[in-house]
Amino acid sequence: MIPIIGHGIKTMSIGFLTREEDALVWRGPILHKVLRQFVKDVNWGHLDWLVVDLPPGTGDVQLSLAQLVKASGALMVTTPQQIAFRDVRRAVTMFSKVNVPILGLVENMSYFICPHCHEKTEIFSGSHPDKREISEGFSIETLARIPIEPSIAQSGEKGVPIVFSEPESETSKKFMELAELLKKKLGE
Ligand SMILES: [Zn+2]
């Protein structure tokens, strides 16, 4: 399979291969086969990094992937609510069991930036500490807090990443900082 290239990034997605109206209820063996194809049968060529966006949770996809590739690390993405952090806790425990290093946490929709006065509003429970406890003596570091700005939704609808359409926006800066941070962490 030949990956689709957009903004200099090669991509492959289950979404490219299924009809929009088809619900994805693939489990177990089929899912494993598809993941295997995505890793081994896509003509990736030379890659700097392979980023795999996984569905939330601690299910078959996560375990299959851990068996297929030796991942350099797992980055947790969550929203600020306490209840969402419970899922992070579970995922961290699962990835640790299959020996995938945890890179850190990204807090998405961390706060809202008003397009009129640029004031920041914390919509959810408010900011959390930079280190959050997973289990006793084991915590996860927050690497980035991504705001929610109307422009990020607009750029998504247009299919142009915000780092291209509005590189000077706060969101873009946060994404670039996160990328640099991850590069350093993985380089180590
Ligand atoms: Zn305002």
Burial letters 127-152, b for 16+ CB under 10 A, else e: ebeeebebeeeeebebbbbbbbbebb
Distances (CA, A) of 116 to 60, 145, 183: 44, 21, 34
Local confidence band at 153 (pLDDT 50, 70, 90 cut-offs): confident
Q: Tell me the mean pLDDT in the region 13-41.
A: 81
Share of the chain above pLDDT 90, in %: 42
Q: Tell me the mean pLDDT in the region 117-146.
A: 83
Q: What is the pTM (predicted TM-score) of this model?
A: 0.85
Please give the pLDDT value at position 9: 93
With CA atoms as reference, report the closest residue to 178 among 105, 109, 72. Answer: 105
The alpha carbon of 123 and the centre of ligand 1 are apart by a number of angstroms equal to 14
Q: Who wins on pLDDT, 178 or 35? A: 178
Please give the pLDDT value at position 132: 83
Ion ligand 1 neighbours, Cβ < 5 Å = 114, 116-117
DSSP conformation class of 87: H
